[in-house]
Structure 1
């Protein structure tokens, strides 16, 4: 019995050692499908990997021959994404990321697998979200829009930067518009946030859409998402500003009323004077007749 028990213990120890050896000698998982996701300069690195107890650290290299610097926010992460916004910001520089698998095991740290991302330039490749705008002013043959710059994921002090703060003069807007009863679209590239759309047909209603546009970028990254469509209500002639209507109608009307009032008062005063004069003349004539 003692011999049998000894053999069972020996067999269990051997089996356990084999399992431990098998686990310790297994190859650490390698990050796969490493890719960048960046919208309005909020930049996140993502990857996929088989579930395990290993962790992942991300390092960045600036340019082709830059040094590898570990991101302070991306050390020994158990999940499969890392926010690199503060590391890459909006610099016009190309970055490459290295996702390193880390964990306990028999492997030397230098032997842990590395997975490299494709190069990424946030200034030239970050996608731009849909803008919002309103119809600011409608004249007889033009419409002026008021475009709001989207906010970015970047803060400078207490201020959250807009895409205008980042792109500056490189930022344009593409305005696409058409008559509400037509499908024929026309495009206009503008610099201002208050662009005037000229040469519109009188008596027509128009619909507008706006998208951020960066002509200095590669074609696939030039244009942001389109805004929702906004139309003028009624015709262009019916959309004249309240101030213009006031000047064109109410001011002349008020002046006319004032003029008529002055004339009426003047006429009444003249009648009163004539009546008073006639009364005095009659009284004098009566007095003279009485004396005689």
Structure 2
């Protein structure tokens, strides 16, 4: 019965439109949310040949919506940033396989693939933060100034929001730091974007990494991307500040011993050579 009805629809559409196709289209595969700093793309595969895709999305419990640029498209991604207005909403999307523009089909329902659920507030990846390092004049304190990452979200005044604007008190920063040329590291959490560190050795260079930390997220999604490494400058120090007197004395003693051994070897070799020369003369 469904086959007869589909054939009738295609015959009827033939008189209204120049083209009508029968049969089905491949379903979209690998439908995935790809979101960084709230710029959210829906991606899928494969590239369509002689058919197109339309994306329909909705917040849980509401009707489907469409983005004009993602209707009968030959692309395999759709920017849904502007449509996900409730950042704490739970969204899903259908990627529908359809004929290209100007062509109809005899299908009563086009094939589609449904995405996993996506909640922007909980699932978007937070990118690498940028920060600067200031060392106090007395070399006893290092302050990190972190720039809150801008997002793809704008407020009513068309001003771009930062992750601080969105997450508010739930946003913290995790700081990892270590002495330059050392593998051991320490970590610290800070609720603010200005972090003072006072447990550092005076004059030593330290290297820092920073990443966002969102308290309300599941453990696997709490941390953002790790920043690039930045190191504080190292104050020039004398050998007496760098090493203890004991170490310096032992080093001097070791050098004296090495020199004495070298001299003794040279003298011994010289005497052996002279003795060999004398024995050679006696033989003559």
Same fold (TM over 0.5): yes
CA distance in 1: counterparts of 2:105 and 2:225, whole angstroms: 50
Do the aligned partners of 2:178 and 2:206 also contact (CA within 8 Å) in 1? yes
Count of residue correspondences: 213
Deviations, residues 231-269 of structure 1 (Å, cap 9, x unaligned):
1212499xxxxxxxxxxxxxxxxxxxxxxxxxxxxxxxx
CA distance in 1: counterparts of 2:208 and 2:159, whole angstroms: 30
Where does residue 88 of structure 2 map in the other structure? Answer: 92
- Shift in alpha-carbon separation, 1:50–1:144, aligned structure 2, 3 A: closer
Do the aligned partners of 1:89 and 1:122 also contact (CA within 8 Å) in 2? no
Counterpart mapping for 1:228-247 below 5 A:
228-235=228-235
Do the aligned partners of 1:144 and 1:194 also contact (CA within 8 Å) in 2? yes
Which of the numbers 27, 33, 37 marks the counterpart of 2:34?
A: 37
CA distance in 1: counterparts of 2:56 and 2:208, whole angstroms: 44
1:76 lines up with 2:75 in the alignment = no
Which of the numbers 45, 51, 56 marks the counterpart of 1:54?
A: 51
Where does residue 121 of structure 2 map in the other structure? Answer: 123
Where does residue 272 of structure 1 map in the other structure? Answer: none
- Shift in alpha-carbon separation, 1:236–1:42, aligned structure 2, 3 A: farther
Q: Which has the larger radius of gyration?
A: 1
Alpha-carbon deviation of 1:119?
0.4
Where does residue 205 of structure 2 map in the other structure? Answer: 205
Where does residue 154 of structure 2 map in the other structure? Answer: 155
CA distance in 1: counterparts of 2:236 and 2:208, whole angstroms: 13
Where does residue 143 of structure 1 map in the other structure? Answer: 142
Could you list the runs of 4 or more consecutive aligned residues of structure 1 that deviate by over 6 angstroms after TM superposition?
A: none
- After TM superposition, the score normalised by the length of structure 2 is 0.69
Do the aligned partners of 2:21 and 2:105 also contact (CA within 8 Å) in 1? yes
CA distance in 1: counterparts of 2:211 and 2:86, whole angstroms: 20
Identify unmatched segments of 5+ residues in structure 1: 1-22, 238-292
Where does residue 165 of structure 1 map in the other structure? Answer: 165
Do the aligned partners of 2:47 and 2:74 also contact (CA within 8 Å) in 1? no
Where does residue 259 of structure 1 map in the other structure? Answer: none
Do the aligned partners of 2:173 and 2:189 also contact (CA within 8 Å) in 1? yes
Where does residue 6 of structure 2 map in the other structure? Answer: none
Where does residue 278 of structure 2 map in the other structure? Answer: none
- Shift in alpha-carbon separation, 1:183–1:216, aligned structure 2, 3 A: same
Alpha-carbon deviation of 1:99?
1.0
Do the aligned partners of 1:202 and 1:236 also contact (CA within 8 Å) in 2? no
Deviations, residues 5-50 of structure 1 (Å, cap 9, x unaligned):
xxxxxxxxxxxxxxxxxx9333222111111110010000011135
Alpha-carbon deviation of 1:90?
5.9
Q: Secondary structure at the match of 1:86?
A: helix
CA distance in 1: counterparts of 2:130 and 2:38, whole angstroms: 18
